[in-house]
Amino acid sequence: MALPHCRHFLLIHLIILSATSLASPQEQETPVTRFQQYLRINTAHPQPDYASAVSFLISQAQSIGLQYRTLEFSPGKPLLLLTWLGSNPSLPSLLFNSHLDSVPAEPSKWLHPPFSAVRTPDGKIFARGAQDDKCIGMQYIEAIRNLKNKNFAPARTIHVSYVPDEEIGGLHGAAKFVHSVDFENLNVGFVLDEGQASPDDEFRVFYADRSPWGLKIKANGPPGHGSRMYDNSAMENLMKSLEVISRFRESQFDVVKAGKAANSEVISVNPVYVKAGVTSDTGFAMNVQPSEAEAGFDLRLPPTANPEEMKRRIAKEWVPAIRNMSYEIIEKGPIRDYMGRPLMTLTNASNSWWLVFEQAITFAGGKLAKPEILSSTTDARYIRQTGIPVLGFSPMSNIPILLHDHNEHLRDTVYLKGIKVYESVISSLSSFMEA
């Protein structure tokens, strides 16, 4: 009885080997198929598969002769660092950063499973992380692969970092990395981190991020029957604050609507939850006034904002203690560097790194849009806090902005063009001798 079973197993094994041998080398191993392999590793929260992602990236580093090491500043949260030694290691090095993790996806809302990396006939690669930001993580490696094949030798040492937990604040990844001896020993002079896609033919570039604050406000008041009219009830006090905050939001939004500032240049504030009421098994008790009421807001401050002035506004106007109110501000990362300066990288002639970067984009046949502040937040803010210049850049043009969206995708042609752009950027910056 064992013999037929064994033959059946061998037959299946031979069929699999035959099917594998029929696939062409180009189909098995190309820049696009390697990108698809990386996308298929599910690194979405709340349980990102960091181990598989790091293992895959190490295999890619080994295939092109890059040094690698894994750092772990928090248990289960690895940070991978790849290194290409330059001929003059005394020069400040370059760091190209991306993050390993992704935000969750809702499979039922997608045309294709979000971790299948399906490539449609028109070249669209559907996957969570296709734009944010596994594309640049692989483009760095592919660009280095091409430069090595051309026998290019960098003068400056090049580092490529893959950090965990960016999508949940980076506190156990980049934040700890930049304050470590490991980072200090890299002697980094300039950094590129992630950017965003561009719907037109110009590449977007970001010289600053907005800083996120989580604001929780709480009101207290006398409980009582729903028919009574109280002064300073919890819900009344909360509603007064909501009105004040809403007026501030409208004033900032009016500036944007009038074309006087970009969305990323103003202070945005958006309500994210309201919590109040007395409940029972049958639902809310409509005839009971609650003694507590709470609301939460997402604030984003551009680096030009004065954080102390914002705190004074919150305490005096938004949540005055005289109305039996209290508040908590959760600051999610820095807004000033160690010298008290706004976290911004110069994009003019006074920054020689900027000039070299700008020329490299032009040499690659690309065009840069006007430098801007990123409306959201990346790990770049932790690096800028040390005083090192950082630009946010992802070479994606003529494609909709789909980060965190359903059906996130990237065209294969856009991805391949980005590799060529990074070839120009890496070769130009690593050959630059003056900074």
**Residues 342-371: b if buried by 16+ CB within 10 A, e if exposed:** ebbbebeeebebbbbbbebbeebebebeeb
Residues 97, 140 share a domain: yes
122-160 pLDDT tens trace: 999 999 999 999 999 999 999 999 999 999 999 999 999
Beta strands in 102-210 (DSSP E): 118-119, 124-126, 158-163, 188-193, 205-209
Rg, Å, the chain Cα set: 26
Mean pLDDT of 180-198: 98
Residues 239, 110 share a domain: no
How far apart, in Å, are the Cα atoms of 275 and each of 239, 243, 278, 323, 336? Answer: 12, 16, 10, 18, 33
| Contact (CB, 8 A) for 369 and 204 | yes
Residues 363, 247 share a domain: no
Task: Tell me whether residue 328 is one of the annotated catalytic residues.
Answer: no
319-333 pLDDT tens trace: 999 999 999 999 988
Residues 249, 109 share a domain: no
Residues 181, 129 share a domain: yes
Residues 61, 121 share a domain: yes
288 assigned to some structural domain: yes
335-392 pLDDT tens trace: 898 888 999 999 999 999 999 999 999 999 999 999 999 999 999 999 999 999 999 9
12 assigned to some structural domain: no
Residues 183, 61 share a domain: yes
Task: Provide the pLDDT for residue 18.
Answer: 36
Residues 166, 201 share a domain: yes
19 assigned to some structural domain: no
Residue 414 domain boundaries = 28-209+342-431
Residues 372, 268 share a domain: no
Which helix (H) or strand (E) element contains residue 361?
helix 352-363
Average pLDDT, the chain: 92
Mean pLDDT of 19-30: 53
Task: Tell me whether residue 142 is one of the annotated catalytic residues.
Answer: no
Q: Whole-model pTM?
A: 0.87
The answer to whether residue 27 scores a pLDDT higher than 80 is no
Annotated catalytic residue within 133, 165, 166, 193: 166
Q: What is the CATH number of the domain that holds 241?
A: 3.30.70.360
In 3-state terms the chain splits into helix, strand, coil percentages (rounded to 5) of: 35, 25, 40
Which helix (H) or strand (E) element contains residue 183?
helix 181-184
More confidently predicted of 256 and 13: 256
Q: What is the CATH number of the domain that holds 48?
A: 3.40.630.10
The answer to whether residue 35 scores a pLDDT higher than 50 is yes
CA distance 185 to 187: 5
Dihedral angle sign, alpha carbons of residues 100, 332, 185, 428: positive
**131 residue type, one letter:** Q
Residues 245, 143 share a domain: no
22 assigned to some structural domain: no
CA distance 247 to 114: 39
CA distance 207 to 239: 38
The count of domains in the chain is 2
426 assigned to some structural domain: yes
Residues 183, 129 share a domain: yes
407 assigned to some structural domain: yes
Residues 230, 187 share a domain: no
Name the pairing type of β-strands 211-220 and 325-331: antiparallel
- What whole-number percentage of the chain has pLDDT above 70? 94
384 assigned to some structural domain: yes
The answer to whether residue 205 scores a pLDDT higher than 80 is yes
Task: Provide the pLDDT for residue 289.
Answer: 86
353 assigned to some structural domain: yes
Let me know the angle formed at the C-alpha of 329 by 324 and 332, rounded to the nearest 5 degrees.
Answer: 170
The answer to whether residue 397 scores a pLDDT higher than 50 is yes
Q: Which of 237, 88, 226 is nearest to 154 (CA)?
A: 88
